[in-house]
Amino acid sequence: MRILLTGASRGIGRAVAERLAEPGASLALAASRPSPELDEAAAACRELGAKVVAVIGDLADGATPERLVAGAATAFGGIDAVISNAGIAVPGNLCEIDGEAWDRTFSIKVRSAWLLARAAYPHLVAARGVFVAVASMSGVEPYPGVGAYSASKAALIMLVRQLAQEWAASGVRANLVSPGLFLSAMTQPIYADPDKKKAREALIPMHRIGDPARDLGGVMKFLVSPDAAYMTGQNLVVDGGLLGSVQTHIAGRPRSGTT
């Protein structure tokens, strides 16, 4: 399988890349700039048997997505799957952040996904392929303190659902994965504090923080595989049961009776 993966140098992106890396796989690992982390990710995937190329570009630049797609398609003779994973989180409530932070957040997470999808569409049609985006549980329920991030993830979910409907007749699928509380490059400083980590784990019905390699890699591998060939427009929330647990935090039990 020939896959273009953005945000591939660390965290969730690298974990997914390594899960997808196997003999016969071709991976175009995209990052905003060259780095030792990207080199290490590429080397790890090659050791697992994959053919790997690195493609570089800042997704805040509107010309980058088309260039990344072209680079991957040229290297591999086409593209079977695009995984839009890159993103940023700017802290701040909606009345606190400025327009530049808002625009950059949406450019990197939403506009770049649209432009990647648009540029990759002819290749995906030829391959009857798939587009997968990494959203967040924060795009399903609001998360105070990161207003632009939550809004961008919600927009991304609708974008991909829209793509799924527009592309279905051509045989191209579009789906999402929405992680819950996961260890990543962005969240590592939080989980370095044992008390904060313990408090977050207590909220999760499965009582542990998600691990990208263990808990997301397999989900992503399924979505890009033929096993998910009849699945499109879906947002898989991978959160250890957190979003569905709100009523478990209500003190007391309801009494029997009629309403």
- Positions marked active-site: 149
Q: Cα separation of 189 and 191, whole Å?
A: 6
66 neighbors 57 (Cβ within 8 angstroms): no
Two structure tokens written together for 73: 């398609």
Report helix, strand or coil for 73.
helix
How far is the CA of 178 from the CAs of 52, 79, 135, in angstroms?
Answer: 26, 23, 5
Q: First CA to last CA across the chain, in angstroms?
A: 55
Given a contact cutoff of 8 angstroms between Cβ atoms, the answer to whether 10 and 87 are in contact is: no
- AA letter at 241: G
Residue 4's H or E segment, with its range, is strand 2-5
How far is Cα 117 from Cα 165, in angstroms, rounded to an integer? 13
The first and second tokens of residue 4, run together, are 């273009």
Distance from C-alpha of 206 to C-alpha of 184, rounded to nearest angstrom: 18
CA distances from 57 to 20, 45, 75 (A): 22, 20, 16
CB-CB contact of 21 with 27 (8 Å): yes
